Amino acid sequence: MNPLLVFPDLPRFDAFSPDHVAPALEELIERARAALAKATDPATPLEWQSLVTPLEDATEQLGRAWGTVSHLNAVADSPELRAAYNAELPRVVQFWTELGQDQNLFARYQALHDSAGFAALSPERQRVVTHALRDFRLGGAELVSPARERFAAIQERAAELSQRFSENVLDATNAFALPIDDEKELAGIPDDARESARAEAQRRGVPGYLLTLQQPAVLAVLQYAEQRSLRASIYRANATRASSAAQAPATEAERGALDNAPVMDEILALRAEEAGLLGYPNFAEVSLVPKMAGSAGEVVSFLRDLGQRARPFAERDYAELKAFAAGELAIDELCAWDIPFASEKLRESRYAYSGQEVRRYFQLPRVLGGLFALVERLFGVSVKPDQASVWHDDVSFYRIERDGALVGQFYLDLYSRGDKRPGAWMDDARSRRRIGGELQTPAAYLICNFQAPSQGRPALLTHDEVTTLFHEFGHGLHHMLTRVDELAVSGISGVEWDAVELPSQFLENFCWEWQIVREMSAHIDTGEPLPRALFDRMLAAKNFQSGLQTLRQVEFALFDMLLHSQFTPGAAKSVQQLLDEVRSEVAVVIPPAFNRFQNSFAHIFGGGYAAGYYSYKWAEVLSADAYASFEEAAEQADGDRMVAETGQIFLREILSVGGSRPAIDSFRAFRGRDPEIAALLRHNGMV
Ligand SMILES: [Zn+2]
């Protein structure tokens, strides 16, 4: 038996080899094509069981097998697996694209939606059909020739341009290198950054040091270099990448080739045209259809409100910084390239603590114990070790039970390895679904990249890493504690893009609760919990310059939203002018006129964040406000009972329902009102 084809069981990782990929995928794509043909056959009855279920069966299996291969590609990379993955990737992508654009399937779903039987479907099933229709429409399925062909051409060209935008940023970043002969010029820069600069020079066969625009190198200079002119050079080179004002490459023609200004203009024009074809006034409204936020206007108001509330704190942060720079650093006029430097010095003088010292208090087994105990207390479940076949000896497996019954399972793969992608993430191994009378329980992959334990001692985590673990576990709970039986809206499936970080950011808050930190910390040598004074300093450092940081996020998000809603590509106002307007409205610190930040704003031009950058702050409002409900419960006379009760409501109204209803309805059902911004401000020290 092919270990990728053991449905509904979890994959047999111990029996897997890359040779299994091609035959499994070929078989599953064939089955999915057959199911699609059956679903679009007019002879197939227009009913859920005969139309939707068989297609879901087949596409779920394809999705799961491909998910397993992608997962292994990320955590157990090998040349053979990579080759097998790349060989199948085009076929898999092609199938999903065809499925999403199938006119006949669109017509069948529309007919099901319009049929008398639709009203008799459960609300979850109705939502699955409505979502499918929405996605078909946004994919251009309703368009007729010639708009149809034009839409396809726009998609293709826009994808090319996004790719070009990112490549230009990358090439422009790599084109710059500043040679440094005299080590004295590097004064203040930490040893590891200095060593990288020396290695870079060696690699390129030049003497001395080479400073590049790789982000760690830029940060090292801007935060630590004593030499002001060096900070200014690196700041300018970094802030003008991929623009006509760039410092590299050498010739004007080469710089012109990497200039992202025309790329941005064309992307914006294409997005506006796409919106017009789909019948929307602008691209922001298209982007917001599958999101929680109702309209561009709503997002703009939200951002302006947040900006105004944060402004006094940002002004205070900036005044404090200016006074410190003048008094302690002899910098009388604070320039853009002084801000990170002065900020770092201020942070060190006010809130310095050793991250390495903190790390000695967080032993992984104890942190996991604290996390599981919290989840058990909040949501009335129990977490227990379990058995499954895994892809590496370091991987462990657990089950979550409620009243003795299995709810979900998860894999923990927490240590970094050479064959593993960096970062941390949660991914679904299997989603909850009822098939016939049988319940398929969900399973999750929880992946981090912590330093592996050594010398027989447990692994130690920084506080940031503890927070990361809680964050990913929050996503995992959303996936595993769902009670929805329909695949397309169970767990995190079908949850709005700008609401999906609610459970993850929510759980992070508990890493800042003294009781919890005390219980899950124990010094590796003494066994003592983290001292309260150290915890208080960490808390103060967390909120350092939160006003300035909030305004920076608001500036980017407002620029993004206005650019995609109130800006006409090709008209009199340029992208630069719009950004200048946003800055003069929002920012406390106006960047120098040569700054071309937008030319390397890859989130919105090269990635998937167009008219979506606001979602970072949006989700933070939701998660902070949700967490505040637990704070309020804890303050009651019978705090423990109230917290447990609040946990049950959170479970019932948010975690359990997944994508089966709009996120705003879930939030209101939990909180009894609309989201409010106050908790976010309070948690960031802006009160
Ligand atoms: Zn996340």
In sequence order, what are the residues at sequence separation of 6 or more whose Cβ sits closer than 8 angstroms to the Cβ of residue 625? 671, 675, 676, 677, 678, 679, 680
The phi, psi pair for 12, rounded to 5°, reads -90, 80
Q: How far is the CA of 377 from the centre of ligand 1 (A)?
A: 23
The pLDDT of residue 454 is: 85
Q: How far is the CA of 235 from the centre of ligand 1 (A)?
A: 30
Catalytic residue among 200, 274, 472, 486: 472
- HEC assignment per residue over 521-562: CCCCCCCCCCCHHHHHHHHHHHCCCHHHHHHHHHHHHHHHHH
H/E stretch holding 407 reads strand 405-415
- HEC assignment per residue over 463-529: HHHHHHHHHHHHHHHHHHCCCCCCHHHCCCCCCCCCCCCHHHHHHHHHHHCHHHHHHHCCCCCCCCC
Q: How far is the CA of 512 from the centre of ligand 1 (A)?
A: 18
H/E stretch holding 314 reads helix 296-328
Q: How far is the CA of 549 from the centre of ligand 1 (A)?
A: 19
CA 254 to mean position of chain CA atoms = 34
CA distances from 245 to 594, 596, 597 (A): 7, 8, 11
Residue type, 59: T
The pLDDT of residue 437 is: 87
The pLDDT of residue 436 is: 84
Q: How far is the CA of 472 from the centre of ligand 1 (A)?
A: 6
Q: How far is the CA of 432 from the centre of ligand 1 (A)?
A: 20
Q: How far is the CA of 430 from the centre of ligand 1 (A)?
A: 19
CB atoms closer than 10 angstroms to residue 444: 28
The pLDDT of residue 529 is: 98
Instruction: Categorise residue 545: left if φ over 0, alpha if ψ from -120 to 50, beta otherwise.
Output: left
CA distances from 191 to 99, 180, 186, 220 (A): 53, 15, 10, 10
Residues of the chain with pLDDT under 70: none
The pLDDT of residue 59 is: 98
The pLDDT of residue 577 is: 97
Label residue 625 exposed, middle or buried (CB < 10 Å: 0-12, 13-18, 19+). buried
Q: How far is the CA of 547 from the centre of ligand 1 (A)?
A: 23
Range 378-381 contact pairs with CB under 8 angstroms and sequence separation of 24 or more? 378/643, 378/644, 378/647, 378/650, 378/651, 379/477, 379/481, 379/647, 379/648, 379/650, 379/651, 379/655, 380/644, 380/647, 380/648, 380/651, 381/407, 381/481
pTM: 0.93
Of the candidates 391, 387, 388, the residue with the CA atom closest to the CA atom of residue 18: 391
Residue type, 198: R
Q: How far is the CA of 622 from the centre of ligand 1 (A)?
A: 14
The pLDDT of residue 78 is: 94
pLDDT digits (tens, 9 = 90+) for 521-575: 999 999 999 999 999 999 999 999 999 999 999 999 999 999 999 999 989 999 9
What proportion of the chain, given as a percentage, has pLDDT over 90?
95
Q: Is 632 a catalytic residue?
A: no
